[in-house]
């Protein structure tokens, strides 16, 4: 239609052809009018179509609203359904797990049941075996009960026999000691015991054993010549030799019979000899522990306890204690604070051969065993002790603890007077080894001098010389009664296990051998 309305370019009128041009315009108007009608019809149709579409749109909108509401409801229902589904799924999972667990438990129970069934069968078999074993054991028990009765009867008989044999052995040992004591008294010799002390914790054992104890009466020293490397065996015999393992009690058993003599009216002297560090003070004093008590506290306790056993005998005991320090007599029962004010001790003799007495000596009556312990503590506290190169705690004096015992028999009206002298000698020292100087040097010189004088006394006694030099030192003068034949005398030689002390050990053993040969006569009872 647009092509019909457009004038043809080829048929364009000339400007001067008005009629033609009017004709063309009329034609054009007709075409436009037809076109208008056509457009009007089309417009009407389109308006109708638009109204229809609007109605349909309105209807669709209504449906859409309804569908939206339905969708919302369905979505809500779907959410609820999904929630229920999730819950059901979760519950299903839980139930599945429970079912799986239950199935496993069932399997476990089945296995346990099978095992229990097997174990029950085993237990039944074991029960049967145990019942059989029980019957067997009952039979054995009956047999053993019979055997036990027989063994108890045999053991009772053996115990009785053992007791009888022990009593016989003890009696035999007592007889042996009594006979040995009588033999020694008849011989009139000074008895000598030798004790080897054990190594101290700080000491090293010798590379080779140089001391041997073949029996209870012999000790051997193995000495090697440094040049020829020749080994020499020196053998020494004494009344008793104690090994390093001997306890304080074992040593005292051999001494106790001699201590008893003091209660029987005899003078008894027990003294310890040996070089510094050989264990003299340990043997004589020991320490406060009961098992480690030495001879002095054990002897004094024995005397006191024995004196309490006989109701018809009354005893009076008086104790004193003296030390010889640098050739000076000191009273150990006088406190050090009062020592300067106390009168000096003086050795006196009533006659040429009379007993030796000490003027101005403190004498304390003994009332109990505890009193004895107190006196011993007092003497230990007051005694001169110091450290040297040879010994950490060296006794620098000789000490003599004396207990005078007077007994009275209320039946016979008779009495006797005994004396117990317990002597702890200071140790001999080689000055080149001890390296003493000053006060220690003077102490060592006096100790060695007094021990040398003691050796001279024993030498004179051994040679049965007409003159015995008792008065050459305070120590020998003080012990004159114990060494001069009116006493039962025992020397306890103490030696060290250290090889570097071998020279002092040999000298001590030779000295003790000389002492053992000394004849001092038979002791007399004092009434």
CA atoms within 13 A on the CB side of 168: 6
277 is in an annotated binding site: yes
Strands 394-395 and 385-386 come out as: antiparallel
* Residue 34 annotated as binding site: no
H/E run at residue 416: strand 415-424
Helices (H), ranges, 1-17: 2-5
DSSP state letter for 488: E
**Contact (Cβ atoms closer than 8 angstroms) between residue 444 and residue 423:** no
Distance CA 361, CA 454 (A): 23
Please name which of 460, 449, 450 lies closest in space to residue 483, comparing C-alpha atoms: 460
Instruction: Enumerate the H helices of 188-309 as residue ranges.
Output: 248-263, 280-284, 295-307
Q: Please, how many CA atoms are within 13 Å of residue 111, restricted to the half-sphere of its CB?
A: 5
Q: Confirm if 317 and 303 have CB atoms less than 8 A apart.
A: yes
Inter-residue contact 5 to 32 (CB < 8 Å): yes
List Cβ neighbours of 195 (8 Å cut-off, separation of 6 or more): 241, 242, 246, 251, 279, 283, 492, 493, 494, 495
Q: Tell me if 187 is assigned to a ligand binding site.
A: no
Q: Which residue has the tokens 């075409």?
A: 31
| 279 labelled binding-site residue | yes
Q: Confirm whether residue 281 is marked as ligand binding.
A: yes
Residue 222 C-beta-side C-alpha neighbours within 13 Å = 13
Contact 234, 221 (CB under 8 A): yes
C-alpha–C-alpha distance, residues 394 and 406, integer Å: 35
Rg of the chain over Cα atoms, rounded to whole angstroms, equals 64
> Does 156 show up as a binding residue in the annotation?
no
Query: Strand, helix or coil at 209?
Result: coil
Residues of the binding site for ATP: 274-281
Q: Please enumerate, by residue number, every residue annotated as part of a binding site.
A: 274-281
């Amino acid at each position: 239609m647009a092509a019909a309305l457009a004038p043809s370019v080829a048929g364009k009128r000339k400007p001067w052809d008005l009629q033609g041009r009017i004709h063309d315009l009329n034609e054009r108007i007709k075409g436009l009018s037809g076109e208008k009608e056509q457009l009007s019809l089309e417009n009407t149709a389109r308006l109708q179509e638009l109204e229809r579409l609007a109605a349909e749109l309105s209807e669709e909108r209504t449906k859409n609203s309804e569908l939206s509401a339905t969708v919302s409801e369905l979505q809500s229902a779907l959410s609820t359904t999904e929630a229920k589904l999730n819950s059901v799924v979760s519950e299903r999972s839980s139930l599945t797990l429970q079912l799986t667990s239950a199935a496993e438990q069932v399997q476990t129970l089945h296995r346990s049941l099978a095992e229990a069934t097997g174990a029950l069968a085993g237990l039944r078999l074991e029960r049967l075996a145990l019942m059989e074993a029980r019957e067997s054991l009952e039979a054995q028990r009956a047999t053993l009960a019979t055997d036990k009765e027989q063994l108890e009867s045999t053991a009772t008989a053996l115990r009785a026999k053992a007791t009888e044999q022990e009593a016989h052995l003890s009696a035999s040992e007592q007889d042996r000691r009594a006979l040995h004591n009588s033999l020694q008294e008849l011989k009139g010799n000074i008895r000598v015991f030798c004790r080897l002390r054990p190594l101290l914790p700080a000491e090293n054992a010798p590379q080779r054993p140089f001391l041997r104890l073949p029996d209870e009466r012999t000790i051997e020293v193995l000495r090697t010549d440094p040049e020829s490397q020749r080994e020499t065996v020196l053998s020494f015999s004494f009344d008793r030799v104690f090994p390093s393992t001997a306890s304080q009690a074992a040593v005292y058993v051999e001494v106790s019979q001699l201590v008893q003599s003091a209660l029987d009216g005899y003078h008894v002297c027990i003294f310890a000899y040996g070089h510094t560090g050989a264990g003299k003070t340990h043997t004589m004093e020991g320490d406060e522990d009961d098992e480690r008590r030495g001879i002095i506290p054990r002897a004094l306790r024995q005397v006191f306890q024995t004196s309490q056993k006989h109701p018809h005998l009354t005893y009076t005991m008086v104790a004193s204690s003296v030390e010889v320090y640098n050739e000076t007599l000191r009273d150990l029962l006088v406190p050090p604070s009062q020592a300067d004010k106390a009168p000096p001790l003086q050795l006196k003799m009533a006659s040429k051969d009379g007993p030796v007495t000490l003027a101005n000596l403190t004498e304390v009556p003994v009332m109990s065993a505890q009193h004895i312990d107190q006196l011993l503590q007092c003497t230990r506290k007051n005694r001169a002790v110091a450290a040297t190169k040879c010994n950490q705690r060296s006794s620098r004096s000789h000490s003599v603890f004396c207990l005078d015992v007077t007994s009275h028999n209320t039946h016979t009206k008779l009495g006797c007077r005994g004396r117990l002298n317990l002597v702890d000698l200071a140790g001999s020292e080689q000055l080149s080894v001890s390296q003493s100087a000053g006060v220690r040097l003077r102490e060592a010189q006096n100790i060695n001098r007094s021990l040398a004088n003691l050796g001279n006394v024993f030498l004179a006694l051994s040679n049965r010389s007409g003159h015995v030099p008792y008065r050459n030192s305070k120590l020998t003068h003080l012990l004159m009664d114990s060494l001069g034949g009116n006493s039962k005398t025992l020397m306890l030689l103490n030696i060290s296990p250290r090889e570097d002390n071998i020279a002092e050990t040999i000298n001590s053993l030779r000295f003790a051998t000389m002492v053992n040969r000394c004849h001092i006569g038979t002791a007399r009872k004092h009434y």
